[in-house]
Copies of this chain bind each other. A is one copy, B any other.
Amino acid sequence: MKEIFSKRMKYVQPSAIRELLAMGAREDIISFGGGYPAPELFPVEAMKVVFEDVMDRVGTKALQYSLTEGIPELREKIAARMAKSGVPCESDDVIVVQGGQQGLDLIAKLYINPGDVIITEQPTFLGALIAFNPYEPQYKSIPMDEEGMRMDALEEALKETPNVKLIYTVPDFHNPTGITMSLERRKALIALANQYGVVVIEDTPYREIRYEGTPIPPIKHFDTEGRVIYLGSFSKILAPGMRLGWVSAEQTILQKIGLLKLAADTQSSTLNMYLAEGYMRLYDLDAHIEDIRTLYKKKKDLMVSIIQSEFPASVKYTNPEGGLFLWMTFPEEIRAEAFLKDHLIPKAKVAYVVGDGFYPLSPEYNHCRINYSGASEEQIIKGMTAFGHLLKEQMKYGV
């Protein structure tokens, strides 16, 4: 059969990271690779009660088609949460999407012509690159420090690049680094976006999983020109298997996202929207999030304490105030992919995600992303200890 796929498919390729993740998914391996929330906190029993309630109250409605933008009851509850976090919001300012990932796809579809530039952090969320790539963008990536994306480098990039359409950022407990953008940087980011007339995607699925430090207002809180598209998600605060996220933006943008959502999949699952809404009505989502915070802090502290005691001192790592990930930096001579494949998986039966895939440009090869939410405390102790010892051994003998 002749090659008749579209040109965009050149940019849609299997990801090496996903293949390595599949290796790490073997039963006998302790994986810190995925981005899985802690399953032990999923509200299984509560969801039974919620389901019964939804079926009894609105059973046929919940199984029928509903609206592209989402059911009004859920949009209202999302808007109230947005408002509470510092973004004035009505239910009409929210569209429910099939997880944050769909938001990324629809936003790229809305803005990107082939060759348009998207600015990202360096490194950045791999899933965003996967969502953006089919629209054939160019990337500029901006180095980070402990306060997040560096504004001097961002300004430089905006100045020298004429066709920037979007700045993509994960400001809270960044994936993959765990870093949070400081208050000053958020204000500076908005000022630069205004000055250069670009749109900001604020992708913040981990925002509510803060277990230390003081919350910083969303970037959208400082948005006076309707330039920030906010992406939220129920995946980390309720359950990723329901595939529910939301987009909040000013009306011109949101209406177009609604048209693209209609084209892409008609609507999100009516049933799951009613279940999420029902959970928030019958149970206390904030109390549930508090339980998540407590558990993740415990797991993160445990992991950091093992890194401190069992890993070579030359290994650097971030110590996040929230979210699901920390970012580890090996001495430069250690390549994270080779160490994973040749040593960590076969000898210690432990896996992480190799860092270079998170770079849209100029990858660095001595990083890895480590997830602490998905594993049990026992697995963290066993897996991280073995990881640290193996690394020490390798560094002694050279890799």
B-binding residues in A (CB < 8 A)? 1-2, 4-9, 12-14, 18, 34-37, 39-40, 42, 44-45, 47-48, 51-52, 55, 59-66, 97-99, 101-102, 105, 109-113, 116, 127, 130-131, 133-135, 165, 197-199, 225-227, 235, 239-243, 252, 256, 259-260, 262-272, 275
Closest chain B residue, CB of each to CB of A60: B39
Residue with the highest number of chain B CB atoms closer than 10 Å, among A9, A52, A98: A98
Select which of B110, B198, B240 is within 8 A of A5 by beta carbon: B110
CB distance from A243 to the nearest CB of B (A): 5
- Asked whether A40 lies within 8 Å of B12 as measured between CB atoms, the reply is no
Given contacts A4-B197, A12-B259, 11 further A-B contacts (CB under 8 A): A12-B256, A40-B60, A42-B59, A44-B55, A65-B240, A101-B263, A127-B266, A131-B263, A269-B269, A269-B272, A271-B275
Q: Select one of B197, B242, B269 contacting A241, CB under 8 A.
A: B269
Which one of A44, A61, A66 has the greatest number of beta carbons of chain B within 10 Å? A44
B7 near A113 with CB under 8 A, answer yes
**Residues of chain B with a CB closer than 8 A to A256's CB:** 5, 9, 12
Chain B residues in 8 Å Cβ range of A105: 263-265
CA A268 – CA B98 in complex, angstroms?
A: 8
The answer to whether B2 touches A197, judged by C-beta atoms less than 8 angstroms apart, is: yes
Query: Complex Cα distance A6/B7, Å?
Result: 17
Is B39 within 8 A of A6, CB to CB? no
* CB contact between A42 and one of B42, B44, B60, B267 (< 8 Å): that residue: B60
Is the beta-carbon distance between B14 and A99 smaller than 8 angstroms? no
Give the docked Cα–Cα distance between A197 and B1 (Å).
7
8 A-B contacts (beta carbon < 8 Å):
A6-B113, A8-B109, A9-B256, A39-B64, A99-B265, A101-B263, A241-B269, A243-B266
The answer to whether A130 and B262 touch (CB under 8 A), given A4-B165, A65-B36, is yes
| Cross-chain contact B7 with A62 (CB below 8 angstroms) | no
Which residues of chain B have C-beta atoms less than 8 A from A270's C-beta?
A: 240-243
Minimal Cβ-Cβ distance residue in B for A13: B259
